[in-house]
A and B are shown apart, each in its own frame.
Chain A
Amino acid sequence: MSEGVLFWIGFSVYLAIVLLIGVLTHIYRRSRTLADYLVGGKIIGPLTTAFTTTASIASGYQFVGLVGTAFLFGFASFWFLVGDLIGVTIQYAVAPRFRKFTGRLNSITIVDYLADRVEDTGHVVRALAAIIVFVFMSTYVCAQFTAGGKAFVGLGASYDLGVFVTWLIVTVYTLLGGYLAVAYTDTLQGIWMLIGMYTVIPLAIASMGGWHAFISRLAEQSADLLSATNGMSLEAFLLFMGTIFGIGVGYPGSPHSMGRMIGVRSPKAAAQAGIIAVISWILIDTGSIFLGLTARAMMPTIADPETSYMVMVRELVPPIAAGLMLAAVYAAIMSTADSQLLAAVGALVRDIFQRILNPNADEKKLVALSRILVVAISVAGLVIALRFSGAVFWFILFAWSGVACVFAPIVVLSLYWKRLTKWGVVAAMIGGSTTAVIWHFTPVLKEAVYEGFPAAVVSFLLAVVVSLLTKPPEKVIKILEGVW
């Protein structure tokens, strides 16, 4: 059997396992209510919560972007790990409280929670936030399909086939199993990413003659590769840290990630998940960085550093195992796409349809509608990824800075400051998002620091100032009595 066939057998075995999880979840853990479908009935344990949250954020970037960054900047790339860990630590520090509040308010999406928390009787917060979440999450799904297509090109197959396979697998298991299938497959995909990374790294280091030879090769190329600052000036380093912090600050506001904190079975389980999540992030980011470092030492003249993982797997691992290892890249893409797909569906079904248009809708109909929308949104994503992928770029650009970084201060304030009002939230969403866009398109500002940081600051300030000027949500403050 040819090497190519063996490779694709290995790759297909992984995809079949992911599909099987979706089918088994549908058979044995069928969703009967909207809460079952969107947040798994709020019964998910700490291990699965930690891995699904990590995998939902750790996209193809882990095997492409961060690997390429480590290739270029060396050990200084560990600051990206610090940035991610700041974000994850803040996210899980507030997670038990967030789970308490969402439990008391019966929320099943982040928008649902924010709207109820600020007594949004006119649905201003709900409609605005749901539209923002839907637009950015659905276009982000499309971007993941595009990434799947590009990953296939890297494996020697066609872009269109890659987009189609990504679409098919993500749609089928999300359609069948809802959040439970997403959480279980994410756990497998997170573990698979780690197996892929930590199989290749020791092989790469051994092939160079061990740790000392690996470090010597890097030092011969440039001493800056071993430095914690990569030779940056103090001013450049401080601006770099501003960007790192700007990225990290968005974690508690990421809709597809914070949704996991609603699905966890208890506040205590959320706190336990935090310990596991921090460790899993350390392992995943460290793996990405060492992949880039070993690639730099092994093949410093590689044409595109972002393809380092793919090239190293092909060189170091037998074909059938290479298929399984490269499926890890795909795992990262699919585990992000499924979470964003479900977040987009939740915004439409729970926040717009059930809470605004039809509060008495039957649970079975809501689950059916969710499944229809999973297919509809993913088909739209498929068509866009195949024909108009450039059109989604603008939205993706602001999915983190304009949504996560803007929502993060609102979520944190909602948990610790009773006085937060719906007009404070509206002002924060509009002001923060606008700041992100203006900052991004003003060259002198963009060069200084990542737009997510000023967007978060403006969102925070507007939320506080406008809330102080408007009437506090008295009824909700009473409902939440005892959990503050």
Chain B
Amino acid sequence: MQLQYLALAASAAAHDLPLETYLLMIGSWTVFPLIMVLLYVRGVKKGLWEDEEHE
């Protein structure tokens, strides 16, 4: 529900807010989750945690 709300707010904001404000909001909502997903994928691909489950 919250994610849907964020998406709605983002599309509505695009029509009313200055471009840099819009970029700040959308940038903060997307860049950091993307970094975390990429770190996770990198860890899985490199097998960084294969022997470490339930230490």
Instruction: Show the binding face of A for B, using Cβ within 8 Å.
Output: 42, 75, 78-79, 81-82, 85, 88-89, 92-93, 96, 99-100, 103-104, 194, 198, 201-202, 211-212, 215-216, 226-229, 265-268, 271-272, 274-275, 277-279, 282-283, 286-287, 290
Interface residues in B5-34 by Cβ distance below 8 A to A read: 5-6, 9, 12-13, 15-18, 20-21, 23-25, 28-29, 32-33
Q: Which B residues touch A278, using CB under 8 A? A: 32-33, 35-36
Q: Known pairs A85-B32, A226-B18, A283-B3. 12 more at Cβ < 8 A? A: A88-B32, A89-B35, A89-B36, A99-B52, A100-B52, A198-B5, A211-B13, A228-B24, A268-B49, A268-B53, A275-B33, A286-B6
- If the complex has contacts A272-B40, A275-B36, A286-B6, are A266 and B53 also in contact, measured as CB distance less than 8 A? yes
On whether the beta carbons of A274 and B36 are closer than 8 Å, the reply is yes
Q: Which B residues touch A89, using CB under 8 A? A: 32, 35-36
On whether the beta carbons of A282 and B28 are closer than 8 Å, the reply is yes
Q: Which A residues touch B44, using CB under 8 A? A: 268
Q: Which A residues touch B28, using CB under 8 A? A: 78, 81-82, 85, 282
Complex partner residue of B24 from A75, A194, A272, A290, CB under 8 angstroms: A75
What residue of chain B has the Cβ atom nearest to residue A106's Cβ? B55
The minimal Cβ–Cβ distance linking B40 to chain A, given in whole angstroms, is 5
- Bound complex: CA of A89 vs CA of B5, how far in Å? 23
B33-46: CB near A (< 8 Å → 1, else 0) gives: 10111011001100
- Bound complex: CA of A290 vs CA of B13, how far in Å? 12
Q: Which B residues touch A104, using CB under 8 A? A: 55
A-B contact list, 13 entries, CB within 8 Å: A75-B25, A85-B32, A198-B5, A201-B5, A227-B21, A266-B49, A266-B54, A268-B52, A271-B43, A278-B33, A279-B33, A282-B6, A283-B2
On whether the beta carbons of B53 and A271 are closer than 8 Å, the reply is no
On whether the beta carbons of A212 and B32 are closer than 8 Å, the reply is no
- Bound complex: CA of A201 vs CA of B5, how far in Å? 10
Q: Which A residues touch B33, using CB under 8 A? A: 275, 278-279, 282
On whether the beta carbons of A226 and B52 are closer than 8 Å, the reply is no
On whether the beta carbons of B32 and A78 are closer than 8 Å, the reply is no
On whether the beta carbons of A271 and B55 are closer than 8 Å, the reply is no
On whether the beta carbons of B32 and A75 are closer than 8 Å, the reply is no
Interface centre among A96, A103, A290 (most CB of B within 10 A): A96
Closest 6 CB pairs of A and B: A103-B55, A268-B49, A215-B16, A211-B12, A85-B32, A228-B20
On whether the beta carbons of A228 and B21 are closer than 8 Å, the reply is yes
- Bound complex: CA of A100 vs CA of B43, how far in Å? 13
Q: Which B residues touch A100, using CB under 8 A? A: 49, 52, 55
Q: Which A residues touch B24, using CB under 8 A? A: 75, 78-79, 82, 228
Q: Which B residues touch A286, using CB under 8 A? A: 6, 29
What residue of chain A has the Cβ atom nearest to residue B30's Cβ? A282
Q: Which A residues touch B43, using CB under 8 A? A: 96, 268, 271
What residue of chain A has the Cβ atom nearest to residue B27's Cβ? A82
On whether the beta carbons of A198 and B32 are closer than 8 Å, the reply is no
On whether the beta carbons of B18 and A282 are closer than 8 Å, the reply is no
- If the complex has contacts A96-B43, A226-B18, are A267 and B36 also in contact, measured as CB distance less than 8 A? no
What residue of chain A has the Cβ atom nearest to residue B42's Cβ? A271
- Bound complex: CA of A263 vs CA of B13, how far in Å? 40
Q: Which B residues touch A103, using CB under 8 A? A: 52, 55
Interface centre among B3, B18, B32, B35 (most CB of A within 10 A): B32
On whether the beta carbons of B18 and A198 are closer than 8 Å, the reply is no
Q: Which A residues touch B52, using CB under 8 A? A: 99-100, 103, 266-268
On whether the beta carbons of A271 and B12 are closer than 8 Å, the reply is no
- Bound complex: CA of A85 vs CA of B40, how far in Å? 16
What residue of chain A has the Cβ atom nearest to residue B23's Cβ? A228
Complex partner residue of A212 from B16, B23, B54, CB under 8 angstroms: B16
What residue of chain B has the Cβ atom nearest to residue A198's Cβ? B2
The minimal Cβ–Cβ distance linking B30 to chain A, given in whole angstroms, is 9
Complex partner residue of A93 from B15, B17, B39, CB under 8 angstroms: B39
- Bound complex: CA of A99 vs CA of B54, how far in Å? 11
On whether the beta carbons of B49 and A282 are closer than 8 Å, the reply is no
On whether the beta carbons of B39 and A271 are closer than 8 Å, the reply is yes
